[in-house]
């Protein structure tokens, strides 16, 4: 969890405590009134648990300050624009996540991304996407609406044909070798990737294993119009719009791009990856 996120959650907890005490309630009294455990009240006030919108509405009303609801939910939205836990996002299934990214894609005119472990979602075949989502579903407690998610991901790819937009993908060579799928599905995926190497509004660069890296590969991320960065960890996805955070990722992307190969050189890396499928 990011320090900024934790500090914001602590600040929200302090505000919740203020409302409770100004309403003349003890933690036990508020918990009893809401039908919650006292530990939940304590965790919310101490920034150890993220409230839901319903929690905040109930808290404001029980404290006698229903007019504070808008302020509290506004603070929560501010938190969630930065930090989106997979547990919360996937509560409605994988399709909802795909649709959230589709909504952002429609806003973005210039997208740059780096993927160290997988072929980017906008360049995936349906079989590869299905295999990847199925494997992620094995570790997340979420509805397994895999086919709906695959259809949504494939539908998003239509945006690549919009010549008014620019897409620049960087892919680590290891992503071409990793097998989150069958060898046959990976072979088809590599063939699809090869079709995107020609110049145009979609550019694909591949970072070879032999590169003397300007910066370590690190984690994957995407930059949207130099205004938003989306990156993720096992437990959460971060949407970062702070200018300093965005500038940091732009510098990292530029450094990685200096190691990337394009055109025929990139195609040779794809052929090399396919040769390992037979071993």
Per-residue pLDDT of 222-267, as tens digits, reads: 999 999 999 998 888 888 887 888 999 999 999 999 999 999 999 9
Q: Please indicate, yes or no, whether residues 160 and 251 belong to a single structural domain of this protein.
A: yes
Match 């025929």 to its residue by tokens.
264
CA distance 61 to 59: 6
Distance CA 231, CA 143 (A): 23
What does the pLDDT look like over 38-53, one tens digit per residue? 999 999 999 888 898 8
pLDDT in the model for residue 1: 43
> Is the same domain home to 79 and 181?
no
User: Are 62 and 110 part of one and the same domain?
Assistant: no
The reply to whether 49 and 157 lie within a common domain is no
Burial group, residue 203, by CB count within 10 angstroms (0-12, 13-18, 19+): buried
pLDDT tens digits for range 159-182:
999 999 999 999 999 999 999 999
Residue 88 located in a structural domain: no
Domain membership of residue 64 (yes or no) is: yes
Whether 78 and 97 share a structural domain: no
CATH of the domain at 126: 3.30.870
Which residues, at least 6 apart from 214, have a Cβ–Cβ distance to it below 8 Å?
Answer: 255, 256, 258, 259
Residue 65 shares a structural domain with residue 111: no
Domain check: are 65 and 122 in the same one? no
Residue 208 phi/psi, 5° resolution? -75, 155
Question: Distance (Å, rounded) from C-alpha 149 to C-alpha 145?
Answer: 6
As for how many domains the chain has, the answer is 2
Q: Look up the domain containing 143 and give its range.
A: 93-278
pLDDT single digits (tens) 73-132: 888 877 766 777 787 778 778 888 888 888 889 999 999 999 999 999 999 999 999 999
Does some domain include residue 245? Answer: yes
Task: Note whether 142 and 179 are same-domain residues.
Answer: yes
Q: Please count the residues of the chain.
A: 279
- Give me 177's structure tokens: 């070798």
Residues 130 and 200 in one domain: yes
Over the stretch 190-223, which tens digit does the pLDDT of each residue have?
999 999 999 999 999 999 999 999 999 999 999 9
Task: Flag whether 141 is in a domain.
Answer: yes
What pTM value is reported for the model? 0.74
Give the position of tokens 């009240």: 41
**31 and 167 share a domain?**
no
Tell me whether residue 109 is in a domain. Answer: yes
pLDDT averaged over every residue in the chain? 91
């Amino acid at each position: 969890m990011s320090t900024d996120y934790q500090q914001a959650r602590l600040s929200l907890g302090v505000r919740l405590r203020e409302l409770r005490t100004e309403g003349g309630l003890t933690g036990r009294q508020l918990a009893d009134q809401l039908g919650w455990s006292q530990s939940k009240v304590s965790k919310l006030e101490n920034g150890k648990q993220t409230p839901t919108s319903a929690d905040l509405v109930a808290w404001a009303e029980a404290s006698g300050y229903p007019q504070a609801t808008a302020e509290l939910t506004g603070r929560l939205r501010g938190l969630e624009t930065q930090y989106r836990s997979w547990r919360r996002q996937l509560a409605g299934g994988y399709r909802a996540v795909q649709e959230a990214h589709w909504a952002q894609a429609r806003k973005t005119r210039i997208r740059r991304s780096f993927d160290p472990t997988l072929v980017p979602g906008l360049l995936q075949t349906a079989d590869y996407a299905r295999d990847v989502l199925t494997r992620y579903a094995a570790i997340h407690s979420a509805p397994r609406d895999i086919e709906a998610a695959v259809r949504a991901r494939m539908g998003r790819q239509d945006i690549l044909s919009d010549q008014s937009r620019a897409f620049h993908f960087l892919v680590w060579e290891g992503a071409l070798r990793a097998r989150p799928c069958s060898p046959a599905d990976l072979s088809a995926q590599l063939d699809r990737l090869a079709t995107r190497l020609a110049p145009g509004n979609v550019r694909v660069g591949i970072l070879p294993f032999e590169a003397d890296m300007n910066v370590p590969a690190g984690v994957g991320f995407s930059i949207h119009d130099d205004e938003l960065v989306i990156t993720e960890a096992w437990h959460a996805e971060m949407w970062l719009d702070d200018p300093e955070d965005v500038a940091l990722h732009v510098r990292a992307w530029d450094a990685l791009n200096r190691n990337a190969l394009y055109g025929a050189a990139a195609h040779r890396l794809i052929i090399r990856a396919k040769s390992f499928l037979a071993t």
